Amino acid sequence: MAFDPLQERGIPLDRQLRDWRELHRAPIDPDRADPYTRCRIITMNGIETEAVLFSHHLARHCPDADLRRRLAQVRAVEAQQQKAVNWLLPGTSSVLETTIAYEQVAVDLTAWVARMEPDPYLRQAYEFGVLDEVDHLYRYANLYDLIEHREAEKIVGDMTEIMPGRPTHLQHRDPADDVREPYDRGRTEPLSRLHALTITATEQQTMNFYLNAGPLQMEPIARRLYQEIGMVEEEHVTHYESLTDPGQSWWERLLNHEYNECYLYYSFMETESDPMVKHIWELHLGMELEHLRLAAELFRRFDGRDPDQVLAPALPPPVTFEPNKAYLRGLLAAQAGWTTQDTGYAPGPHERFEQRRDAVMDGEKPASEQVIDENRRISGQEYRLETVGSRMA
């Protein structure tokens, strides 16, 4: 029987506060953990960060002090959840190792969403974006090989191929071409809303991570690469957030956020291989069920509608981290040369794209190309991890 979070009882809000001992769990072992356990942790950190930020923005637009207090109570729990999740990442991992894991999330989560997305226009948005991420993973893997002398296979396992995608130097698009057409909230399927929320949140956390991680690098080539890819991640957030119907009320948005958290925690609880981490997904699901109930009450009160008019009657099939190798190879063969134009796509560069790219490059070879050249010079070969062979000249 399908899981309907609106019909489930959660943990009462007054029992959700955790002390420091409960909040802090041992991090995963970076050498033994399933790479997709790390991916699920990174994903839920992004989802909880989005939940906290959204709640703050809602509170800033809410004139009712009692409602702001209730939002603050729930938000404090969401903040604890974010800390509990993000602190599962091991402190022994370098910033660059965490970066490669972030890009593995971007590749395999976006590919999975694209495969499952029922709306052709929205599916194209995810297919387009994921080819940028394939290339980012390839560039960072070469940086890792160059400055830490280690192979990214240690981090991604054999789940995700590391190979050139849409070249990063072809990703510096004019902001006018980053904005997509939003879905129609009255006609789109509930699953499409969840997909848009999920990918926007995960891209937002990647953008923010690079904003802070880039300046911490010592090597000039690393600083430049983080800066270059960080600008593309800004484009991605614009690209994905514009898919959401701007006509939704604040209360409908809150309802969708809470439902999406239930969906993802349930998905990861069902698919998690690490018992300790699975327990955290289960605990947080219990908390989110209560947050959803409270959001549903506010939606009924202020929008005058029943949540069943907006949400799916039961959760869709679980979000699954799994290899997408053949799928991505097919996309690369068909769409690697594409760029965006207005709210659609073009098969190759156009005038506005070329003007923007030339202004950004100013005749200089970008860091995304320099890192490959430098790794070839030092190591004798660039770093790739492909089904047909590991390290390739």
Q: Which tens digit of pLDDT belongs to each residue from 9-21?
A: 999 999 999 999 8
The gap from C-alpha 343 to its chain's centroid, in whole angstroms, comes to 22
Query: With bands split at pLDDT 50, 70 and 90, how would you rate the model's confidence at 388?
Result: low
In this predicted model, what pLDDT tens digit does every residue of 63-95 receive, in sequence order?
999 999 999 999 999 999 999 999 999 999 999
- Tell me what pLDDT residue 73 has: 98
Reported as a single tens digit per residue, the pLDDT across 23-58 is 989 999 999 999 999 999 999 999 999 999 999 999
Q: What is the pLDDT of residue 354?
A: 95
Asked, for residue 50, whether it belongs to a domain, the answer is yes
Which pLDDT score is estimated for 204?
Answer: 98
What average pLDDT does the segment 175-198 reach? 97
Split at pLDDT 50, 70, 90, the class of 387 is confident
Range of the domain at 64: 5-379
pLDDT in tens, 211-231: 999 999 999 999 999 999 999
pLDDT confidence bin for 1, thresholds 50/70/90: low
pLDDT of residue 390: 42
Residue 188 pLDDT > 90, yes or no? yes
Residue 107 CA, distance from chain mean position? 9
pLDDT digits (tens, 9 = 90+) for 123-181: 999 999 999 999 999 999 999 999 999 999 999 999 999 999 999 999 999 999 999 99
Looking at the domain assignment, is residue 385 inside a domain?
no
By percentage, how much of the chain surpasses pLDDT 90?
95
For residue 13, the model assigns a pLDDT of 97
- Asked whether residue 143 is assigned to any structural domain, the reply reads yes
pLDDT at position 187, please? 94
SS (H, E, C) 232-294: HHHHHHHHHHCCCCCCCCHHHHHHHHHHHHHHHHHHHHHHCCCHHHHHHHHHHHHHHHHHHHH
Percent of the chain scoring above 70 in pLDDT: 98
d(CA 42, CA 343): 30
> Count of domains in the chain?
1
pLDDT of residue 72: 98
Confidence label for 393 from pLDDT (cuts 50, 70 and 90): very low
Look at residue 389 in the predicted model and tell me its pLDDT: 44
Backbone angles phi, psi at 263, to 5 degrees: -60, -45
Examine residue 391 and state whether it is found in any structural domain, yes or no: no
* pLDDT score of 344: 97
Query: Does the structure show a pLDDT above 80 at 391?
Result: no
In a domain, 387, yes or no: no
The model's pTM = 0.96
Q: Does 295 score more than 70 pLDDT?
A: yes
Task: Report yes or no: 335 and 127 within 8 Å, Cβ to Cβ.
Answer: yes
Which residues, in sequence order, are bridge partners of residue 344?
341
**What is the C-alpha end-to-end distance of the chain, expressed in Å?**
51
pLDDT recorded at residue 200? 98
Region 114-122: mean pLDDT is 98
In a domain, 57, yes or no: yes
The answer to the question of residue 390 being in a domain is no
| In a domain? residue 19 | yes
Which residue from 81, 78, 88, 87 is spatially nearest to 53, judged by alpha carbons?
Answer: 78
Q: Is the Cβ–Cβ distance between 281 and 319 less than 8 Å?
A: no
pLDDT band, very low/low/confident/very high, at 2 (cuts 50, 70, 90): confident
b/e 367-386 (16+ beta carbons within 10 angstroms → b): bbebbbebbeeeeeebbbbe
pLDDT band at 313 (very low <50, low <70, confident <90, very high): confident
